[in-house]
Structure 1
Amino acid sequence: MSQSRLAARPHRLAFAIAALLPFGPVLAQDAAPPATTPQASTLDAVQVTAQRKVENIQDVPVSISSVSGEKLDVLGSGGNDVRFLSARVPSLNIESSYGRAFPRFYIRGLGNTDFDLNASQPVSLIYDEVVQESPLLKGFPVFDLERIEVLRGPQGTLFGRNTPAGVVKFESAKPTRELDGYAQLSYGTDDMYNFEGAIGGPLSERWSARVSALYQRKEDWVTNTYEPGPDRGAEGYDETAARVQFLYEGDAFEALFNLHKRHLNGTARLFRANIIQKGTNNFVPGFDKDKVSTDGVNFSELDTWGGSARLRWDLGDYNLYSITGYETAESLNRGDIDGGYGAVFLPVSGPGVIPFASESADGLPDHKQITQEFRIESDYQGAFNWQAGLFFYKEDITIDSFNYDSLSNGNPQAGHAIQTQKNDAWAVFASGEYQATDKLKLRGGVRYTQDEKDFSASVLEGAPFGAPVGGPYTVNTDKDNVSWDLSAVYAANDDINLFARVATGFRAPSVQGRLLFANAAAPNGGVSTADSETVISYEAGVKADLWDKRARLGFTVFRYDVEDQQIIAVGGGANIATLLNADKTRGQGFELDLEAYVIDNLLVTLGSSYNDTEIKDADLGVAPCGGGCTVTDPIVDGFARINGNSLPQAPEWVHNLTARYSIPMGEGNELYFYTDWAYRSEVNFFLYESVEFTGKSSLEGGLRIGYGWNYGDYEVALFGRNITDQTRIVGGIDFNNLTGFINEPRSVGAEFTMKF
């Protein structure tokens, strides 16, 4: 962001309020001071690739937030994983019952609470133009990025695969012709070490490269007070990641090659037995977040690696692209699901009531994903331009599910099931834009998708209280779909754009085969399938540059309707996971992004969203909790009727605020203060509504004080995350007892950064 050292001109509070109103831009312009007033700090244009080409964010008819630069550094302080983005942009929530390994994304309330490694999500994650379909690929560490774009609403035409809710798009910093890089080292609470760095530059006249690396480590901050337990601590991690890129730049040909790898060795999400006070959503009296008493083994191991080749040919009036991607993952996550020790039928058990012991693990021993896209786009000088392409997708996976006997010495294996799935899909798409008048631009696109899955599951070793040996149980799905979108952007003047968009999206059928605890008498051994879902979305909004580009505003209102939404009923008394389709789901609300220099040295950003979601299916019921919670939905034939409920993990309100104030300390030096806050309203953890499994509203804040010198080449900073040390239950396990898991505690530390 460009800044001037000239004195700031004053602005009345009325200007700030007016900017949030429909006629705010007009009032702000009318009230502008004379041209002789010295220029103040201004905002640079934000470039995004939401339409598969570089554009000013203000010209794109999609509700978008872009996060880059210092904001990413601040939010990631202290070794935080990708979940730090949750509630940091409007309508975005991220949570996980796996910890750092398996983030689940929700946009406008649409997401998937399924914890199975075969789960599909309606929010697609695109990393350097390659879709990351497996949930274990979605948690790749955030480092050395140009920006993150959050595209809200269906993106079925240009991105296609599993995008009915939206897209979270990561763009790595690319090699350049200049030698540059950085090194960043921080240390903080619980012996947290965080190092990341990059170096890049030219290799020859045509070639350049960039190497990026990350190392994060944190000691266990939770102590296991159950002395016979196999683990003495939890919540620590050791993680490394690296990325190598090579860029070739010819006269009419460009190639970018990318290799990346991740290794995680830590603990799985820590489940805590009976931490919720019955009849409330409060912690039980005496709860201590630093202690737990469990008799299970807890660990999380994950290795991923992949590569991509992005090629571009300049053919004069056309550009031809080829994007080839390969991804693979291997993992094993094991945890104590009952969250305690012993059982009620034994001499000792606790804390609270432990009806029966449950310890399990899920692994991904074999995984392979291959993607290929060919795309051609026009580059005419006239009013009409277009792009079209072909997309191919292939994934092979094998999933292991294990049960263990926590009540025997050594916690031996006592159950094993396996799932395999082959997924082949292809699509053809086209999109065009037409400059109808000087002020009006029209866009539209269409995509045809065909998706086929071959699934098989077997129980190789029966669990004591689960399904016996059996199988294979097979499912085959084959679906196609046509998605489309239409939009218009109208330039009211040089600074204000009005836009409207209607778009559809599609998610292919999903299959679920967690059989160890399934009912053996259930159809097909307990394998469940959800049919494909479709969505249509309507949105309209305004994007404006205000106060001579001292402020930027984006405001969108939307409504969507989902047909046959895929949902997952998890837990219940049998601890099973069952895929279902809800007849209809409706969501509506608004999103606001505002960024402004209030005065020359004070930059403020504000994000806000409202999401009203409702399940509409009068006959749909799910198994209520098996652990004594207070269900508030009607119970019919033992099932909780969920018609009218909001979607799980879908807060109505999300607000976020950042403020950066800088004090010049001589030529090229500055002292700055940066604070950020994120609020989300209460959420349901499950499809049914209950008193205990309703997460309270959350407000977390961060603070950073830094000193930079030599025009930003060097910086030292003190930081704090979750500075109020707020403790919240953010998820639950509902089949056994009132078990939950909590958010990250407060962390503080120091950081040094050097750029070159």
Structure 2
Amino acid sequence: MNRIATQRAVARPALREAALAVSLAVLAWPALAQDAPKDKSQLDTVTITAERRVENIKDVPNAVSQISGEKLDVLNSSGQDIRFLSGRVPSLNIESSFGRAFPRFYIRGYGNTDFRLNASQPVSLVYDDVVQENPILKGFPAFDLAAIEVVAGPQGTLYGRNTPAGVVKFDSVKPSQRQEGYVNFSYGTYGTMNLEGAANVPLTGEWSARISAQVQHRDDWVKNQAVTGKPGKLEGYDDRAIRIQALYEPHKDFSALFNVHGRDLSGSARLFRSSIIKTGTHDLVDGFDPEKAYTDGVNEQTLHATGGSARLRWGLGAINLYSITGYESVRPFSRGDVDGGYIYGGTKPFTQEGQATFPGESSSSMDGHRQITQEFRVESAAAGPLRWQGGVYFFDERYTARSTDYTTATGLAAGYVDTHQKNTAWATFGSVNYAVTQDFQLRGGLRFTKDKKDVDVTSSYAGLNTSTGVSAKTSDSKWNWDVSGSYALTKNTNLYARVATGFRASSVQGASLFAGQSQASPENVTSYEIGVKSDLWDRRARLSASVFDYTVKDLQLTAVGGQNNANRLLNAKKATGNGVELNLELLPVDQLLITLGGSLNNTKIRDTSLSLPACGGGCTMLDPLVAGSTTNYSINGNSLPNAPKWVGNLTARYSIPTPAGNEFYIYTDWAYRSKVNFFLYEAKEFTGKSLTEGGLRVGYVWNNGKYEAATFVRNITNQIRVTGAIDFNNNTGFINDPRTYGVQFKALF
């Protein structure tokens, strides 16, 4: 038996043992808790729409995590962008080399590190029922939300294309006839300000509206030590977003929900920091100061986004008919000093930081972007053991992405490469739920997808690498399916099993100065999952746990940087992932609420023929050289990039009621991820250390919950880590936010 087969043989018994242990623990818990004193205080019922219907989370045979309410307020209080969700539910990691504008999502270790503006990702983000396909769209701020759901993949039936790793689903608070709203304001370190508010506006008996907005600001807090005439301070931002919704509901059998939204961002691009990683280690250099940087380039970022949707529902007796129309447009610009250091002007400091041997300054922008989506869906509404839904889906996106290089000495553009992309897709889908008995239910789904891309490159450079062409057309089609079953072991405990498939269509990256055009063929994933969901201890505890195993064939990978300074697509023959996930909510006493989540993810690239050149320079390779080669290293057996083996999170809230009926409270939250590889190869310098970030919040609530004042600290231990790197030639990296603290006030009206 070869090494890969041996590892698989060892892993599967381990998964079975883990599944048995989880099941026995859940079965034992009610027995242990049955004598516990009952109390009227209980956990709220959690409903989700992971399968396009409103359901109790316990009844959905899929690993789903939800964040809502106070937890969202706490995590969003310090002005962070969407990356605040990273590690807050099992198996979720989010990182970015673009800062606030371009998040990259990973679920169960499965994602994509590609930083180009036409990159595709295997995690789909759906905001108010409209897919946000381009990675720039996925950074839209989180405010005035009813809930965020993270649904493990594959989701190839109901959500479709580019969902093999899963779906992150945002649902805004909808308009209503109630006259209500809120204002939430916080201010803290580095002049960080977060202002969020919303108001319902009843218009008539049939119309209502809701206006929601968020304004986030941070001062420039990093001082440039290197050169006069360049930006003296960096890392500030102004990020503003608004959403206006109008609901028309003349009677129970028809509703129309209209949504218009926009975002305007200006500030610093991701700050690359030259030579901050100590050679031969993954530690920061001695004396590193996060409030200092050394750069001779321009660092700026702007983003303008607008969009809208119309969601219509008709009740037609035994069926409901839905129409969801969406439009999105985004115009980003991000320019930064890629080498992260300086050559021009000034005197080099007596430190390793800031060193660069040659300049690299570039920008990425997009013009003419527009995305149009349309879905028609019909579902059964009659009572009975059989429920079904089905529909058709259309997608059309087109834009021009421009990459511009600059002469750092003058700051003038040296040339550009334009990638013109058109992407169209259509799909038809259906699913069936059938209650075989009162305790045993089956679900199944089927979807056919047709996906086409048309990519063409133009450039001002005479030296463009045209060796593999400057245009490409792809056309992919795929049937995907899923089957699941759930069994009610007791009225409070469900066991489930699920098998599902998914796919991601072909990807194309256009020619550049450093590399020719590259293309990755479609990838396909098959996943197996078993789990348990239970309300325990008279609903004072809620537990969900799952064990999973997936295989991706023809996995799309992105080789970033390296000795040839190229960014190119390639396919690995196979990648595997398996692990365990756990979510627990607990009310041990009336005033104390604890949530605990965690996951174990084992991911591996399985391709003995796949090798890459060494990193760009100044790093220590850990992979073995390919036999007979002095330049290429095998990446077979490496974990997937940015895929932590362990993820854990904890929150605890303790309340202290006052005689007047008000409340003091203490809230703490913690998130942990183990070490990660930043790239496909393994190198000491480009292995990110484990990261633990915690927060503490102390607050007072009065006047029947109408007002709340609090103080908070984020990253309370001030743990600074390299969270990403640039494979250039000087161990360049970027870091997480240092400790911040502030005050917050919230008022309901």
Match of 1:627 in 2: 617
Match of 2:16 in 1: none
The one-letter code of the counterpart of 2:569 is: L
Q: Could you tell which deviates more after superposition, 507-516 or 350-359?
A: 350-359
Q: What aligned pairs does 1:189-228 form with structure 2 within 5 A after superposition?
A: 189-228=189-228
Residues 1:540 and 2:537 aligned together: no
Offset, 1:39 = 1.6
For 1:512, which of 509, 513, 518 is the aligned residue?
A: 509
The one-letter code of the counterpart of 1:354 is: A
In the alignment, is the contact (CA less than 8 A) between 2:468 and 2:518 conserved in 1?
no
Q: What aligned pairs does 1:21-36 form with structure 2 within 5 A after superposition?
A: 21-32=22-33
For 1:658, which of 628, 645, 651 is the aligned residue?
A: 651
| Percent of aligned pairs with the same amino acid | 56
Q: Secondary structure at the match of 1:285?
A: coil
For 1:703, which of 696, 703, 707 is the aligned residue?
A: 696
Q: What do the CA deviations read for 1:433-490 (whole angstroms, capped 9, x no partner)? A: 100011000000000000001100122135xxx6379998110000000000000010
Residues 1:528 and 2:512 aligned together: no
Rounded Cα–Cα distance in structure 1 between residues aligned with 2:467 and 2:677: 35
Rounded Cα–Cα distance in structure 2 between residues aligned with 1:469 and 1:559: 41
Q: What aligned pairs does 1:57-456 form with structure 2 within 5 A after superposition?
A: 57-251=57-251, 252-342=253-343, 351=353, 353-406=355-408, 408-409=409-410, 411-456=411-456
Match of 1:496 in 2: 493
In the alignment, is the contact (CA less than 8 A) between 1:416 and 1:516 conserved in 2?
no
Q: What do the CA deviations read for 1:487-519 (whole angstroms, capped 9, x no partner)? A: 00100011000000000001000111261333x
The one-letter code of the counterpart of 1:718 is: T
In the alignment, is the contact (CA less than 8 A) between 1:459 and 1:470 conserved in 2?
no
The one-letter code of the counterpart of 1:120 is: S
Rounded Cα–Cα distance in structure 2 between residues aligned with 1:144 and 1:475: 42
Rounded Cα–Cα distance in structure 2 between residues aligned with 1:145 and 1:99: 22
For 1:726, which of 715, 719, 722 is the aligned residue?
A: 719
The one-letter code of the counterpart of 1:478 is: S
Offset, 1:377 = 0.3
In the alignment, is the contact (CA less than 8 A) between 1:401 and 1:516 conserved in 2?
no
For 2:684, which of 686, 691, 696 is the aligned residue?
A: 691
Q: Secondary structure at the match of 2:71?
A: helix
Q: Secondary structure at the match of 2:72?
A: helix
For 1:479, which of 476, 480, 486 is the aligned residue?
A: 476
For 1:576, which of 566, 570, 573 is the aligned residue?
A: 566
In the alignment, is the contact (CA less than 8 A) between 1:514 and 1:576 conserved in 2?
no
The one-letter code of the counterpart of 1:678 is: A
Distance 1:25 1:574, change over 3 A: closer
* Residue ranges of structure 2 left out of the alignment (5+ in a row): 1-19
Match of 1:14 in 2: none
Q: What do the CA deviations read for 1:585-625 (whole angstroms, capped 9, x no partner)? A: 00000100000101110000000100000000000112321
Offset, 1:220 = 0.9
Q: Secondary structure at the match of 2:80?
A: coil
Residues 1:562 and 2:552 aligned together: yes
TM-score, with structure 1 as normaliser: 0.94
In the alignment, is the contact (CA less than 8 A) between 1:661 and 1:672 conserved in 2?
yes
Q: What do the CA deviations read for 1:192-226 (whole angstroms, capped 9, x no partner)? A: 11101000042101111100011111001100011
Offset, 1:185 = 1.1
Offset, 1:668 = 3.5
Rounded Cα–Cα distance in structure 1 between residues aligned with 2:334 and 2:26: 52
Offset, 1:250 = 2.4
Rounded Cα–Cα distance in structure 1 between residues aligned with 2:307 and 2:357: 43
Rounded Cα–Cα distance in structure 2 between residues aligned with 1:531 and 1:468: 21
Match of 1:741 in 2: 734
Q: Secondary structure at the match of 1:73?
A: helix
In the alignment, is the contact (CA less than 8 A) between 2:93 and 2:105 conserved in 1?
yes
Residues 1:616 and 2:618 aligned together: no
In the alignment, is the contact (CA less than 8 A) between 2:273 and 2:354 conserved in 1?
no
Q: Could you tell which deviates more after superposition, 225-234 or 676-685?
A: 225-234
Match of 1:467 in 2: 464
Offset, 1:27 = 3.6
Distance 1:23 1:469, change over 3 A: closer
Rounded Cα–Cα distance in structure 1 between residues aligned with 2:44 and 2:293: 49
Q: Secondary structure at the match of 1:712?
A: coil
The one-letter code of the counterpart of 1:606 is: L
Distance 1:368 1:376, change over 3 A: same
The one-letter code of the counterpart of 1:660 is: R
Offset, 1:170 = 0.2
In the alignment, is the contact (CA less than 8 A) between 1:343 and 1:356 conserved in 2?
no
Rounded Cα–Cα distance in structure 2 between residues aligned with 1:562 and 1:472: 28
Offset, 1:25 = 4.3
In the alignment, is the contact (CA less than 8 A) between 1:459 and 1:469 conserved in 2?
no
Match of 2:42 in 1: 42
Rounded Cα–Cα distance in structure 2 between residues aligned with 1:160 and 1:212: 30
The one-letter code of the counterpart of 2:402 is: D
Distance 1:596 1:303, change over 3 A: same
Rounded Cα–Cα distance in structure 1 between residues aligned with 2:353 and 2:459: 32
Q: Secondary structure at the match of 2:455?
A: strand
Offset, 1:723 = 0.8
Distance 1:368 1:319, change over 3 A: same
Rounded Cα–Cα distance in structure 2 between residues aligned with 1:684 and 1:375: 41
In the alignment, is the contact (CA less than 8 A) between 1:296 and 1:336 conserved in 2?
yes
Match of 2:8 in 1: none
Match of 2:585 in 1: 595
In the alignment, is the contact (CA less than 8 A) between 1:568 and 1:580 conserved in 2?
yes
The one-letter code of the counterpart of 1:249 is: E
The one-letter code of the counterpart of 1:210 is: R
How many matched pairs?
Answer: 724
Distance 1:550 1:400, change over 3 A: same
The one-letter code of the counterpart of 1:247 is: L
Offset, 1:331 = 1.0
Distance 1:343 1:354, change over 3 A: farther
Offset, 1:177 = 1.5
Offset, 1:34 = 6.0
Offset, 1:134 = 0.6
Rounded Cα–Cα distance in structure 1 between residues aligned with 2:412 and 2:92: 40
Q: What do the CA deviations read for 1:624-653 (whole angstroms, capped 9, x no partner)? A: 211221111122332221000000000000
Q: What aligned pairs does 1:631-650 form with structure 2 within 5 A after superposition?
A: 631-636=621-626, 637=629, 638-650=631-643
Distance 1:69 1:716, change over 3 A: same
Q: What do the CA deviations read for 1:279-304 (whole angstroms, capped 9, x no partner)? A: 11111122111101110000010011
The one-letter code of the counterpart of 1:673 is: I
In the alignment, is the contact (CA less than 8 A) between 2:34 and 2:537 conserved in 1?
no
Rounded Cα–Cα distance in structure 2 between residues aligned with 1:753 and 1:550: 28
Q: Secondary structure at the match of 2:279?
A: coil
Offset, 1:686 = 0.1
In the alignment, is the contact (CA less than 8 A) between 1:125 and 1:131 conserved in 2?
yes
The one-letter code of the counterpart of 1:680 is: R
